[in-house]
């Protein structure tokens, strides 16, 4: 089970940090990936982090604006997105990341609204 | 980046119908395709991984096939709870990418 933090409203230029707490499995045996979905749109992959090593992989478009971290003591993953723009308004999902990029279990989603 | 193209973008079907949707990759990706179901306001749910392996707990009416560039998701007998949007995703290389989705609607 993955439980995410609550909805956020941010102004353009601000940062947001979303959390994803894992339960029911050994956190360090898997990675965590983040996917976002703008209103009425499809799914966009934002990157992944190994919960064991902390290694990350981000897509080119978000590199420099996104940082993913984990806290193994609390089995929690975090995704921070900086320099927010209106087109960052979306539901942000975390998912358990398995071998060869399979996203097996998903959090409930966190709505981030960017508006002045 | 690998582009994933799904077709059709939407379809109408009746309960009990056999439904097929396709996903085409912009280059060969072996069998590294996964399929997800998403209902309105809910998170996606993994149905099929590695093109044809059924995720635990998913009904056997869902099936996947294909390799290389062309992949298919089939629902053998559509049930009322299957009305949703279906996404394919390639896991051959990063950045991981999704298709645009196929919305299955009630006829």
pLDDT means per 10 residues, chain A with 116 residues, are 98 98 96 98 97 95 96 97 98 95 97 97
Q: Is the pLDDT of residue B18 over 90?
A: yes
Angle at CA of residue B66, ends B57 and B6, nearest 5° = 85
Q: Is A101 close to B32, i.e. CB distance below 8 A?
A: yes
Q: Is the pLDDT of residue B29 over 90?
A: yes
pLDDT band at B107 (very low <50, low <70, confident <90, very high): confident
Q: Which of A44, A102, A108 minimises the CB distance to B43?
A: A108
Beta bridge partners of A50: A31
pLDDT value of position B106: 87
Nearest to B41 by CA among A109, A94, A21: A109
Residue B96: closest CA among chain A residues belongs to which residue?
Answer: A45
Q: How far apart are CA A60 and CA A20, in angstroms?
A: 23
Characterize B41-65 residue by residue with b for buried, 16 or more Cβ atoms within 10 angstroms of its Cβ, and e for exposed.
eebbbbbbbbbbeebeeeeeebbbe
Give the rounded percent of residues in chain B with a pLDDT score beyond 70.
100
Count CB-CB contacts under 10 A for residue A99.
10
Count CB-CB contacts under 10 A for residue A105.
19
Q: Is A104 close to B46, i.e. CB distance below 8 A?
A: yes
Q: Is the pLDDT of residue B14 over 90?
A: yes
Please say whether the beta carbons of B87 and A43 come within 8 A: yes
Residue A4: closest CA among chain B residues belongs to which residue?
Answer: B43
Looking at the complex, report in whole angstroms how far the Cα of residue A73 sits from the nearest Cα belonging to chain B: 26
List, for residues B82-105, the tens digit of each pLDDT value: 999 999 999 999 999 999 999 999
Q: Is the pLDDT of residue B23 over 90?
A: yes
Whether B9 has its CB under 8 Å from any CB of chain A: the answer is no
- Phi and psi of B63, rounded to 5°? -145, 145
Give the rounded percent of residues in chain B with a pLDDT score beyond 90.
98
Please say whether the beta carbons of B51 and B68 come within 8 A: no
End-to-end CA distance of chain A: 34
Angle at CA of residue A39, ends B36 and B5, nearest 5° = 45
Angle at CA of residue A14, ends A2 and B96, nearest 5° = 45
């Amino acid at each position: 089970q993955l439980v995410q933090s609550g909805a956020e409203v941010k102004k353009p230029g601000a940062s947001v940090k979303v959390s994803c707490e894992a339960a029911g499995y050994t956190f360090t045996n898997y990675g965590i990936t983040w996917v976002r979905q703008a209103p009425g749109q499809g799914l966009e992959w934002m990157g992944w982090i190994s919960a064991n090593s902390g290694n990350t992989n981000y897509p080119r478009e978000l590199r420099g604006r996104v940082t993913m971290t984990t806290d193994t003591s609390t089995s929690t993953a975090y995704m921070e997105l900086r320099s927010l723009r209106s087109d960052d308004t979306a539901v942000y999902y975390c998912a358990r990341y398995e071998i060869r990029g399979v996203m097996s279990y998903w959090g409930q989603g966190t709505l981030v609204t960017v508006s002045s | 980046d690998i582009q994933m193209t799904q077709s059709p973008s939407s379809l109408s079907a009746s309960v009990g119908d056999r439904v097929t949707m396709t996903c085409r990759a912009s280059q060969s990706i072996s069998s590294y395709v996964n399929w997800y179901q998403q209902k309105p306001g809910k998170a996606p749910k993994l149905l099929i991984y590695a093109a044809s392996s059924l995720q635990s707990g998913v009904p056997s009416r869902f099936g996947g096939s294909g390799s290389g560039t062309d992949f298919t998701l089939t629902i053998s007998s559509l049930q009322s709870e299957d009305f949703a949007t279906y996404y394919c995703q390639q896991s051959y290389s990063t950045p991981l990418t999704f298709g645009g989705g196929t919305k299955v609607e009630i006829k």
